[in-house]
Amino acid sequence: MFNRSVISKLQQQQTPFYYYDLDILHRTLTDMKRESGRYGFHVHYAVKANFNQRIMQTIADYGFGADCVSGNEIRHSLENGFNSRDIVFAGVGKTDAEIEYALKSDIFCFNCESKAELSVIAGIAKDMGLMAPVALRINPDVDANTHSYITTGVEDTKFGIHTGELEEVAGIIESSPALHLKGIHFHIGSQILDLTVYERLCQRINELQEWFETRGIGFDIINVGGGLGINHNNPAALPHFADYFSVFGRHLRVRDHQQVFFEIGRAAVGQSASLITRVLYLKDGGAAKYLIVDAGMTDLMRPALYQAYHLIENLVSDGEPAKYNVAGPVCESADVFARMIELPETRRGDLLAIRSAGAYGEVMASRYNMRNLPRALFSDDI
C-alpha cells in the first residue's frame, strides 16, 4: 500500500484523510466473488460498512447485491448501480415511509425482525395493493465470541425474532395475504475470526428449517448474514474467504431449490483504506509520551466506541523504537487511538497511517467540535 513514491505524494496532502488503495479493494472483491461462486452463493454488500460513492460503484460493478438498513441506503444503492431485485432491507426500526419507499422500489425482500414489524409491513402493503416479500430474521442464540457491542445473535439483544415466537409469527404470515415468505435470515455479529461459530450457526439453521418443514412451511432463501473478520495485525492479508464459504458449503443443508445469501461488509472493504494523519505535538504522559495527531474520534470512531484495535504505522521515520500513546484533538478523554504502542522515534509533522479503516470509518465520521469531515483520496488520484 505504501511505497516511497506514494508516501511522498501523501505528504503533500492536507491531513487527515482516508486513503483508499484500489488494488487491495479489487483483489479482495475478486477473491470474494471467486470463492462464493464455487458454491453458487449470493453475496450482498452490507452498505453500512462504507457507502462512499466510488466504493459503492466499484462493488456494484462486480455484480454483488446490496444489504441495506435504511431507506437512504436503498436510494443510494439504486443511484450507484445496484439492481432493485438485488437489494434486501434489514434493520430493527424501519419507518412507514421507508417501507413504502422499499415497496415502490420493488426490492427483493424485507428482513423482518419482529411480530410488530410484520404486521406493519402487511398493513402498508395491503393499502398499496402490493405483496411484500419478507424473510424472518431469527435470533439463533449463537454467541459469536466477539465484542459485546457487535454481538447480535444471542438471546439478550434487540435483534431478531426469538424462537419462542415462531409459532405466532407463522400464524401472522399465513393470515396475511399481503405477505410472501421468501426465507429466513440470521446475523450473529461482526469481526468474527473463530469460524467454528459458523458451524454452530449452520447446525441451528438446519434445526430451524426442519421445524418449519414439519409445519408445512418452506422457503427459497437462507440468508446466513455475515460478520467475517479481518486481520488487523496484518493489513496486507486478505480475509479467509475460502475457509469461510467452505464452512457453509460443508455444514449447511440446502434444499435443491434454495439459494444462500450472505451480507458481507467489513471483509469486503476493511483493509482497502487507512486514515492518514499528521503529528501535531508530543507531550509527556508518564510511562509513555503522547502523540497528539490531527485526526480524532470524529474521523474514526471505532477505538473510542468499543476499544477497537487498528495497527498504526509511522510512514516517514526509521528512528529507534519508543512507546507512545496516540491521541486526537477532540475534547473527550476517549479520543485515543492506541496506548503504549511501539513506533519509531516520532516527531512533529510525521505522517501516521491508521490501518484497516475502510469499514465503519469514513461512514461513522461526525462534525463534533465543529470539525471538518475527513475527505477520501484514492490511489489513482495521486
Q: What is the CATH number of the domain that holds 96?
A: 3.20.20.10
Residue 57 DSSP SS3: helix
The CATH number that applies at residue 278 is: 2.40.37.10
In contact, 366 and 340? CB cutoff 8 Å? no
Which stretches of the chain are DSSP H helices? 4-10, 22-37, 53-61, 71-79, 96-104, 115-128, 166-174, 196-214, 241-251, 266-269, 302-306
Query: Do 166 and 231 reside in the same domain of the chain?
Result: yes
Do 248 and 301 lie in one domain? The reply is no
For residue 33, the one-letter residue type is: K
Does residue 263 sit in the same domain as residue 185?
yes
End of a domain among 270, 296, 322? Answer: 270
Task: Answer yes or no: do 228 and 280 share one domain.
Answer: no
Number of domains in the chain: 2
Amino acid at 185: H
Domain that holds residue 370: 4-17+271-381
Longest alpha-carbon distance in the chain: 71
167 and 298 fall within a common domain: no
| pLDDT mean values, one per 10 residues, the chain (382 residues) | 95 98 98 98 98 98 98 98 98 97 98 96 98 95 51 62 91 94 94 94 95 93 96 94 98 97 98 98 87 98 95 97 97 97 97 98 98 98 92
**pLDDT, position 287:** 77
370 sits in the region (left: phi over 0; alpha: psi -120 to 50; else beta) called left
Same structural domain for residues 50 and 190? yes
Residue 7: closest CA among 218, 336, 274, 311? 274
Measured from the Cβ of residue 155, the count of other Cβ atoms closer than 10 Å reads 12
Q: What is the pLDDT of residue 152?
A: 42
| Burial bucket for residue 341 (CB in 10 Å: 0-12, 13-18, 19+) | middle
What's the full length of the chain, in residues? 382
Do 223 and 293 share a domain, yes or no? no
3-state secondary structure (DSSP) of residue 113: coil
Of 250, 270, 290, the last residue of a domain is 270
**Angstrom distances, CA of residue 7 to CA of 15, 19, 99, 112, 343:** 13, 11, 46, 47, 17
User: CB neighbours of 205 closer than 8 A, spacing ≥ 6?
Assistant: 140, 184, 186, 222, 224, 252
Q: Are 195 and 312 part of one and the same domain? A: no
> What's the burial of 194, exposed, middle or buried (CB within 10 Å: 0-12/13-18/19+)?
exposed
- Choose one of 244, 270, 296: the last residue of a domain: 270
- The separation between CA 200 and the C-alpha centre of its own chain, rounded to angstroms, equals 21
Q: What pTM value is reported for the model?
A: 0.93
11 and 56 co-located in one domain = no
Residues 228 and 290 in one domain: no
Instruction: Quote the pLDDT of residue 143.
Output: 55
- Which pLDDT belongs to residue 176? 95
Q: 168 and 100: one domain?
A: yes
Residue 189 sits in the same domain as residue 235: yes
| Residue for grid cell 492479508 | 237
Residue 157 pLDDT: 72
What backbone phi and psi angles, to 5 degrees, belong to 208?
-70, -35
pLDDT value of position 145: 46
Strands 179-185 and 221-223, by their bridges, are parallel
